[in-house]
Amino acid sequence: MQATGGASLNTSDRAESPRASSSSRGWRRGAWWAFPVTALLAYGLDLGTKTWAVRALDGGRDRELVGDLLTLHLTFNPGAAFSTGTQFTVLLSCLAIAAVCLVLAFSIRVRDGLWAVAFGLLLAGVGGNLTDRLFREPGPMRGHVVDFLQLPNWPVFNVADMCINVAAGLIILQTFRGVALDGSRGRDEPVEPGDGPEPDGARP
């Protein structure tokens, strides 16, 4: 049933639209908190496991954690993730500092939960290994990263390396899905005044 002039009596859709939009914006703002929470938890896990590995595995005592599949083997790596670039320790430290700054800068724009988790893991991974380079022997910017997880035919790695790789996977996934940092998609275009359908009775 319609009122005079063809206007619909059912105004619930129009009334709910602003509330739904406001709720969506609020959820996106709240999703940002997944970034610091993920970063702190993953960073703490990385530092904690490294501290334990240095104490428990000192002296070259390997431990089989899952048979021959996963072994705890302590090494000190002057390079990047998975023992790459071992001759560029200072350069890698500088790049890590720059990466931390970039992640923090981009995180301000994050309003999507999955992006927030990805940036949190990335910050924890880069920051965890950077902490080793800044505070471990042989000195600041040249410190060796603690690695202790070993798979067959694979370089020794740590929790920070795992965080970096999972973060990279999530970033690739979100990119292929077309999800922007604010949670919008490429096809979501804002509706400008006059672009939407005209209400009934407004046509000439």
| DSSP string over 27-94 | HHHHHTTHHHHHHHHHHHHHHHHHHHHHHHSTTT--EEEETTTEEEEEEEESSSGGG--TT-HHHHHH
Average pLDDT, the chain: 82
Query: For residue 25, what pLDDT is reported?
Result: 56
Report how far residue 187's alpha carbon sits from residue 179's, in angstroms, rounded to the nearest whole number. 10
Confidence of residue 185 (pLDDT cuts 50, 70, 90): confident
Please provide residue 76's backbone torsions phi and psi, each rounded to the nearest 5 degrees.
-120, 110
Among candidate residues 161, 182, 188, 200, the one labeled active-site is 161
Tell me, yes or no, if 182 is annotated catalytic.
no
User: What are 109-144's pLDDT values in tens digits?
Assistant: 999 999 999 999 999 999 999 999 999 999 999 999
Exposure class string for 103-123: b at 16+ Cβ within 10 A, else e: beeebeebbbbbbbbbbbbbb
pLDDT digits (tens, 9 = 90+) for 14-27: 444 555 444 455 45
* Average confidence (pLDDT) over 36-55: 97
Over pLDDT 70: what percentage of the chain? 73
For residue range 68-111, what is the model confidence (pLDDT) as tens digits?
899 999 999 987 655 666 678 889 899 999 999 999 999 999 99
Given the residues 58, 147, 182, 195, the one annotated as active site: 147
pLDDT over threshold 60, residue 189: no
Number of neighbours of residue 156 by Cβ within 10 angstroms:
20
Name the nearest CA neighbour of 45 among 127, 137, 134. Answer: 127
Catalytic (active site) residue 195:
no
pLDDT band per the 50, 70, 90 thresholds, residue 176:
very high
